[in-house]
Structure 1
Amino acid sequence: MRRLIEGYRLFHQTYYQQNREMFDQLALGQSPKAMVISCCDSRVDPGLIFNAAPGEIFSLRNVANLVPPFSPDGANHGTSAAIEFAVCSLKVEHIIVLGHAHCGGVSALLGAHEGDFIGPWMRVAEPARDAALAQVGDGDPELLHRICELETVKISLANLAEFPWVRERVAAGKLFLHGWYFDIEKGELLTTDNEAGTFERVV
């Protein structure tokens, strides 16, 4: 806790004071152009990775950067609520699903951990696990894990495209969906072609 308090003090004395005008404007409202759906893993910080200033990214973080299927059933849906707010109220122009290497949620999906909440949540990505197993089998655990991480990004994109107000804005050319993947060890960013479904390294 001391480390966090000291970090706040340094922030307030330096960055905040140097950017008072920006924070005055941010206090009046937000108008981000992009939403990033990323994992809550402590090693993957979208603001840091993309060198973004406050107010540039509407950030949603959950276990394994998942988008569940559209299901307006009256239950608690924090992820879907955030997407609805970003699309319908903020009218973001881009939504990026950001996967990453060494994802603990994917480890749970592949059988390392069930839990009271993680296991049921990761069932959203069971089609990704099935696709990875079909490609790799169970002979190479590291490759299986990585392919499953990539496939999880695709599943989230597919689910995202089924939200009616997402679909409408995409069809109107007002919203664009992207699948990206961050390799922690190499610092590399991969992006996917939505048509081919393949990932390519950003140079």
Structure 2
Amino acid sequence: MKGREVDFFEKRSQGQRPDYRYIGSDGRVLANEIVGMQPEDVFVHRNIANMVNNTDMNVMSVINYATVHLNVKHIIVCGHYNCSGVKAAMQAKEMGIINLWLRGIRDVYQLHMAELDAIKHEYERYTRLVELNVREQAINVIKTANVQKLYLKQGFPVVHGWVFDLKTGLLKVLEIGFASIL
């Protein structure tokens, strides 16, 4: 690989001990680059609209592996503005099997309907739904048994909610209220 350090693969073959678990959706910017870390410092999971559904064995298994076996200190749920998954969930049209996945985002909309419906401009409403979806997915992580048990025992992992702006490169840190949810 051109432009990489000579021992790039050798270093990565030694195993991983990341402190960060990242749940995101967009692959245009690498998770480790958003936070200025090396690839081995961030254990990454991606899906449409950074969803954390307790019936999704994939995301639940990854959270379990990251917390129990990799002993991560932080779990980040990172969405991004202009998320096509969130935008699709706001539309009342048949999309096939993806409707099952979008149901979780539609539930977030229902939960925050009064706030969202009070926003007159569709783009601003959509932007706010991106933020609320990240917050609710972070809360879903906090509600997992392993995260609660390990946090009460050792003080980590701590769960964070972020929204990345692809246009500006800025990261918005959302208030999740981690300790109060436990």
Q: TM-score, normalised by structure 1?
A: 0.79
Look up the match of 1:61.
Answer: 46
8 Å CA contact retained: 2:79, 2:162 = yes
Instruction: State the distance in 2 between where 1:124 and 1:136 align.
Output: 16
Look up the match of 1:143.
Answer: 124
Instruction: State the distance in 1 between where 2:168 and 2:147 align.
Output: 33
Note if 1:48 corresponds to 2:26. Answer: no
Q: 2:61 aligns with which of 81, 95, 100?
A: 81
Change in CA separation of 1:34 and 1:150 when aligned onto 2, cut-off 3 Å:
same
Q: RMSD in angstroms over aligned alpha carbons?
A: 2.0
Residue 3 of structure 2 aligns with an amino acid whose one-letter code is T
Look up the match of 1:14.
Answer: 3
Q: Paired residues, what number? A: 176
Residue 132 of structure 2 aligns with an amino acid whose one-letter code is E
8 Å CA contact retained: 1:105, 1:118 = no
Change in CA separation of 1:35 and 1:113 when aligned onto 2, cut-off 3 Å:
farther
Look up the match of 1:177.
Answer: 159
Runs (5+) with no aligned partner, structure 1: 1-11, 197-203
Look up the match of 1:101.
Answer: 81
1:131 is displaced (CA, Å) by 4.1
8 Å CA contact retained: 1:131, 1:151 = no
Instruction: State the distance in 2 between where 1:89 and 1:114 align.
Output: 40
Instruction: State the distance in 2 between where 1:23 and 1:45 align.
Output: 18
8 Å CA contact retained: 2:139, 2:176 = no
Instruction: State the distance in 2 between where 1:135 and 1:19 align.
Output: 53
Q: Percent identity?
A: 27
Runs (5+) with no aligned partner, structure 2: none
Instruction: State the distance in 1 between where 2:73 and 2:6 align.
Output: 26
